[in-house]
Amino acid sequence: MFERKIFSRKVSWTAAAAAIAGLAAVAPVKAEDTVKVGLILPMTGGQASTGKQIENAIKLYMQQKGDTVAGKKVEIILKDDGAVPDKTKTAAQELIVNDKVNFIAGFGVTPAALAAAPLATQAKIPEVVMAAGTSIITERSPYIVRTSFTLAQSSTIIADWAVKNGIKKVATLTSDYAPGNDALNFFKQNFTAGGGEVVEEVKTPLANPDFAPFLQRMKDAKPDAIFVFVPAGQGGNFMKQYAERGLDKAGIKVIGPGDVTDDDLLNNMGDAVLGTVTAHLYSAAHPSQMNKDFVAAYKKAFGNRPGFMAVSGYDGIHLIYEALKKTNGDTDGTKLIEAMKGQKWESPRGPISIDPETRDIVQNIYIRKVEKVDGELYNVEFATFEAVKDLGKTKK
Amino acid sequence: MTAILTNLFDGVAYGMLLFVLACGLAVTLGLMNFVNLAHGAFAMAGGYVCMVLVNRMGWPFFAALPLAFVSSAAIGIALERTLYRHLYTRSHLDQVLFTIGLTFMSVAAVDYIQGSSRVFINLPAALQGQFDVFGVGIGRYRLMIIVICGLLTIALQMVLAKTRFGSRLRAAVDDPRAASGLGINVPQVFAFTFAFGCGLAGLGGALSAEILGLDPYFPLKFMIYFLIVVTVGGSSSITGPFLASLLLGIGDVAGKYYVPKMGPFVIYTMMIVILIWRPNGLFGRTAAR
């Protein structure tokens, strides 16, 4: 009798377990119809313009292409991390564990992208980096893929261009954090290899926007040009003080990766910025039909022109769509990341592809000069370096 | 030699700017013994008012400056009458928590209304660029800052030392009970002083947009500088913060120019050294209150 009781209890437990298993088997059928993308972006704080541009571009893409792909509905879950890595990590955890997302995407700054990397590896889901630009990012997890850029791409190209165009002595001014140091090191490496000389090297603190003393030092060093990398928002301050100090009249040019003349802020900088030569992946003035349509649609929807962050977000969501098409809607993370490797497509910035070995973006880098077109300031492209890989990795 | 003079000039301009931004805080903190960490928010308000007037409504820059002062002062008086005055008798910790909360609210509000990208005020052409005086580069805008802030400092000192209001204020600060017994309307004097301090912050905010940049995070980014100026200067007079501002401004600029590798730390190093030497600030009272 005693035994029978135990036996019957066992039976009921098994029945319950079976019932739960049955329920569990039923539930995912519904969930499988949607694909969730956890989008982690800085929507507040100093990097908010990055977040805003990427969010806008993704909205635009989904308006244009619809929100279903390979029979699945795509759902975006947006979280604001304010570019603080701790918050990025919490947001990624919540998205993966609670919301059961199939992708995490966005990442405004390098530390944010790195903070989420171990989670992507553990959960085996793709992390699509749409903004952060330090070389090492894609090496931190086999599940990271990037649609933005690396600073090595633009910094080495502008160095090569400068050597070939009679710029011999350069002073550098870079922000003292990982991307700034990447920009500086890759620039120096190619510039000195080409016979150029760095006469002055200044790293400015991130939190200090008064460039006056640093610029005075640049002026007294009498270089042919200043190589500058500051985070997008500070470009305007830099250019204004550059003009105030009369460096433009002293014949000192400004060169650098394109962050300093981001399309977002360019029009506010005044005429001092005219003639600045930068190397970058995208300009709102890129002369392809696709880009003209993209810029027009973006302007119509959001009232301002897209910058390079917007185009990175646009390409990021495109890559997610294409990967789903290729796996026929299969949301297994490993299959998705395999499907992303080697993708090639035409973007508003020109032809781009995902390097199958490094999962990093391969793209054209354009040399551009700031000019006035129809009363507005634009980065006008005049030379193209095709299919540039991230040199940060290929050198290893 | 010209490099030294150019740096001296830049340093003085930077110091003057710090002074106008911080002296309102010196007044509330030193004279009224109230810790107002939301001081930067009033500066930001002035900056944004000036930006909207100049950029969106086409006002001339010099006409917008007084309005930056007035609007910040008005916000100051409104908040003083409704919120701040309840906290005069509370502990410093309560005041800190309250004003920090106010700061975060102002950041979020401006972020919501104006967006978080950095804004610039359109300056008249006359204020742009530099001219040379015997090889020393004089920035027009920075020269204007020195002139405006210099005049303001003199006026302020005169008001405090020579006028009836100045003596009432000093009496109200030293012994509020005796002062009100003498017929001085202490709350009114405090309210006016507070508003004036906020107005100065607003003016400073408008002037600093060109040099420090203006975005919703302004109050948080520069709070530390205001506090350094007041602690180094001592909070018992206007002269203390004034000299401290000049010293820190020149030191900061020179540090960044001559030793750029440790540039940002110069200002902190100076603060530590001065505070070890004189714990109550350069012109602090020897006995703590």
Q: Tens of pLDDT along A253-297?
A: 999 998 888 887 788 777 778 889 999 999 999 999 999 999 999
Whether the predicted pLDDT of B5 surpasses 90: no
Could you write out the DSSP letters of every residue in A233-279?
A: GGHHHHHHHHHHTTTTTTT-EEEEEGGGG-HHHHTTS-GGGTT-EEE
Cα→Cα distances B132→A241, A362, B2, Å: 16, 48, 10
pLDDT at position B44: 94
In this structure, of B41-45, B144-148, B155-159, the range with the lowest mean pLDDT score is B155-159
Q: Report which secondary-structure segment, H or E, holds A18.
A: helix A2-31
DSSP code at position B235: S
Q: How many pairs of residues across A and B have Cβ atoms under 8 Å apart? A: 90
Contact: A46, B215; criterion CB under 8 Å: yes
Chain B interface, best mutation among A172, A237, A305, by max B CB count within 10 A? A237
* Closest Cα in chain B to A264: B117
The two three-digit tokens of residue A32, written as one number: 């499988």
Instruction: Return d(Cα A280, Cα A278) in angstroms, integer.
Output: 6
In this structure, of A70-79, A105-114, A356-365, B213-222, the range with the lowest mean pLDDT score is B213-222
Beta-carbon contacts of residue B182 (< 8 Å; ≥ 6 apart): B171
Q: What is the pLDDT of residues A295-339, one digit of tens each?
A: 999 999 998 889 999 999 999 999 999 999 999 989 999 999 999
Instruction: Return d(Cα B127, Cα B143) in angstroms, integer.
Output: 9
Tell me the chain B residues in contact with residue A203 when contact means C-beta distances shorter than 8 Å.
260-261
Give me the amino acid identity at A129.
Answer: V
pLDDT at position A119: 95
What average pLDDT is seen over chain B?
86
Nearest-CA distance B48 → chain A (Å): 16
Longest dimension (CA), chain A: 102
Hey, which of A30-39, A52-61, A253-262 has the most confident mean pLDDT?
A: A52-61
The two three-digit tokens of residue B256, written as one number: 């960044």
Report the SS3 class of residue B108. Answer: helix
ipTM for this prediction: 0.78
pLDDT at position A88: 94
Whether the predicted pLDDT of B289 surpasses 50: no
Q: What is the mean pLDDT of residues A178-198?
A: 91
C-beta of residue B75 within 8 angstroms of C-beta of residue A12: no
Q: Report which secondary-structure segment, H or E, holds B26.
A: helix B2-26
Q: Output the pTM of the full model.
A: 0.80
Higher pLDDT, B12 or A12: B12
Instruction: Return d(Cα A116, Cα A103) in angstroms, integer.
Output: 12
Nearest-CA distance A217 → chain B (Å): 6
Question: How do strand A103-106 and strand A144-146 relate by DSSP bridges?
Answer: unpaired
Higher pLDDT, A215 or A10: A215
Q: What is the mean pLDDT of residues A53-68?
A: 94
Q: Specify the residue for token string 């409104």.
A: B78
pLDDT at position A230: 86
Contact: A203, B221; criterion CB under 8 Å: no
Instruction: Return d(Cα B127, Cα B129) in angstroms, integer.
Output: 7
Could you write out the DSSP letters of every residue in A62-101?
A: HHHH-SEETTEEEEEEEEE-TT-HHHHHHHHHHHHHTS--
Q: Specify the residue for token string 């742009």.
A: B128
Q: What is the pLDDT of residues B20-67, one digit of tens each?
A: 888 888 877 877 778 889 999 999 999 999 999 998 898 899 999 999
Whether the predicted pLDDT of A24 surpasses 70: no
Strand partners, A172: A201, A227
Nearest-CA distance A273 → chain B (Å): 14
Whether the predicted pLDDT of A124 surpasses 90: yes
Residue A26: how many CB atoms within 10 A of its CB? 9
Contact: B116, A46; criterion CB under 8 Å: yes
Instruction: Return d(Cα A272, Cα B132) in angstroms, integer.
Output: 19
Closest CA to B6 of A57, A217, A330: A217
Nearest CB neighbour to A220, from listed B3, B115, B253: B3
Contact: B14, A210; criterion CB under 8 Å: yes
DSSP code at position B214: B
pLDDT band at residue B284 under the 50/70/90 scheme? low
Nearest-CA distance B265 → chain A (Å): 10
pLDDT at position B256: 85
The gap between the terminal CA atoms of chain A, to the nearest Å, is 74
Contact: B139, A48; criterion CB under 8 Å: no
Alpha-helix runs per DSSP H in B115-163: 140-162
Residue B274: how many CB atoms within 10 A of its CB? 20
C-beta of residue A311 within 8 angstroms of C-beta of residue A348: yes
Question: How do strand A72-80 and strand A350-354 relate by DSSP bridges?
Answer: unpaired
Instruction: Return d(Cα A170, Cα A106) in angstroms, integer.
Output: 34
Instruction: Return d(Cα A266, Cα B114) in angstroms, integer.
Output: 18
Tell me the chain A residues in contact with residue B7 when contact means C-beta distances shorter than 8 Å.
213, 216
% of chain A residues with pLDDT over 70: 90
Give me the amino acid identity at A243.
Answer: A
The two three-digit tokens of residue A346, written as one number: 């035409």
